[in-house]
Amino acid sequence: MKTLEQLSHDQEVLTFKEFSNEMALELGVIMANKAAAKGYKMAFSIIINQREVFKYGATGTTNMSDVWMQRKANTVYKTTMSSLKARAFFAGRNSTFFDNWFVSREDHADVGGGFPITLENGLQIGVIVVTGLAHEDDHEFIVETLHDYLGK
């Protein structure tokens, strides 16, 4: 697993000058094509200002993918950090996200696969969520895709 410092660095670097619904569509299609090329059965959601503007589930995904994505998105919104960073942050304190934020495990998940959409000015405007791989691989899928998309 990545260290807390590495996860923090990902979030600091992978920011957007702007982010629109059209960019969400473009990024979502890139993610879907990348997953298909690798043979991954994944689901994706891109949410801007609490509104889902892109969603895709490959054949073989189920409604449980939607449940996992919502739980990961809730964690990102609650903490303003990636869902994997939330896990690492509290693991380093011998605690859990659930114990410290008093949230339910039914509505939140402290696993990788949720990543904030943050503008260069620091404002978080949304979330990118993926599911279908091991949770750390879900996180890396987002990070690698954003590095390529942003050229960073």
Query: Alpha-carbon distance 62 to 136, whole Å?
Result: 20
pLDDT of residue 40: 97
pLDDT of residue 99: 74
User: For 48-86, how does the pLDDT look when each residue is reduced to its tens digit (9 = 90+)?
Assistant: 999 999 999 999 999 999 999 999 999 999 999 999 999
pLDDT of residue 59: 95
Please give the distance of CA 90 from its chain centroid, rounded to a whole number: 18
Q: Is the pLDDT of residue 21 over 90?
A: yes
Higher pLDDT, 152 or 134: 134
- What is the residue extent of each domain of the chain? 4-150
pLDDT of residue 16: 98
Amino acid at 7: L
pLDDT of residue 142: 98
Taking residues 118-137, report their average pLDDT.
97
pLDDT of residue 152: 86
Q: 3-class DSSP state for residue 137?
A: helix
Taking residues 121-148, report their average pLDDT.
97
8-state DSSP, 84: H
5's tokens: 């410092």
Query: Alpha-carbon distance 139 to 2, whole Å?
Result: 10
Query: CATH homologous superfamily of domain 4-150?
Result: Haem-degrading domain (3.30.450.150)
pLDDT confidence tier of residue 110, bands split at 50, 70 and 90: confident
Sign of CA dihedral 48, 51, 56, 61: positive
